[in-house]
C-alpha cells in the first residue's frame, strides 16, 4: 500500500471512530459512504478486493456491499421554486365531510357548519 492510500485509509478509520459505536439503525453519513466507495474503487484498481478494503477501514463488508449496490444521490436535494395561481386555488370546492355511523348510516355532502347543526338537532 502506498503512502497516499495509507493516509486515506487512516482518515476514513478516524472518521469512523469519531462516529462512535456502530450497530443496527446507526447510519453512516453519506459523505463518508462516498469516501469509502471511492477508496474501494482505488483498491480494486490496485488488485485488492472488498475484504482487504473492509479490514483496512474497519467497516463491515456487508455495509460496504450494501452501499455499493444501492444508488447514491449525486448531489443533495434542492428546493424548486413553485408559484401558485390564485385563480386555480379559488376554484377548489370546499371539502365535504362523509360521516359513517355504526350501523351503516352514511351522511355525505355536508360542510362542517351543516354537520354541526344536524348533530345538534339529533342530540
88 vs 35: CA distance, rounded Å:
47
If asked whether residues 63 and 10 sit together in one domain, one would say: yes
Per-residue confidence at 109, pLDDT binned at 50, 70, 90?
confident
Q: Do both 59 and 8 map to the same domain?
A: yes
pLDDT at 106 over 70: yes
Q: What's the pLDDT tens digit per position in 80-93?
A: 888 877 666 566 66
Number of domains in the chain: 2
CB 53, CB 40: distance < 8 Å: yes
Q: Which residue has the cell 342530540?
A: 123
Domain residues for the domain of 108 are 89-122
- 107 band by pLDDT with thresholds 50, 70 and 90: confident
DSSP annotation of 100: E
Tell me, yes or no, whether 15 and 56 share the same domain. yes
Q: Are residues 52 and 103 in the same domain?
A: no
100 in Cβ contact with 82 (< 8 Å): no
- Looking at the fold, whether 93 and 62 belong to one and the same domain comes out as no
59 and 13 within one domain: yes
Q: 103: pLDDT confidence band, cut at 50, 70 and 90? A: confident
> Are 13 and 65 in a shared domain?
yes
What was the pLDDT predicted at 122?
78
Amino acid at each position: 500500500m502506498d503512502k497516499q492510500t495509507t493516509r486515506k485509509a487512516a482518515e476514513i478509520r478516524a472518521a469512523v471512530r469519531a462516529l462512535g459505536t456502530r450497530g443496527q439503525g446507526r447510519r453512516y453519513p453519506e459523505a463518508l459512504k462516498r469516501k469509502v466507495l471511492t477508496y474501494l474503487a482505488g483498491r480494486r484498481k490496485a488488485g485488492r478486493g472488498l475484504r482487504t478494503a473492509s479490514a483496512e477501514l474497519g467497516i463491515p463488508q456487508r455495509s460496504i456491499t450494501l452501499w455499493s449496490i444501492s444508488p447514491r444521490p449525486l448531489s443533495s436535494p434542492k428546493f424548486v421554486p413553485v408559484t401558485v395561481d390564485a385563480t386555480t386555488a379559488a376554484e377548489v370546492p370546499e371539502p365535504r365531510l362523509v360521516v359513517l355511523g355504526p350501523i351503516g348510516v352514511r351522511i355525505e355532502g355536508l360542510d362542517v357548519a351543516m354537520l354541526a347543526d344536524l348533530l345538534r338537532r339529533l342530540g
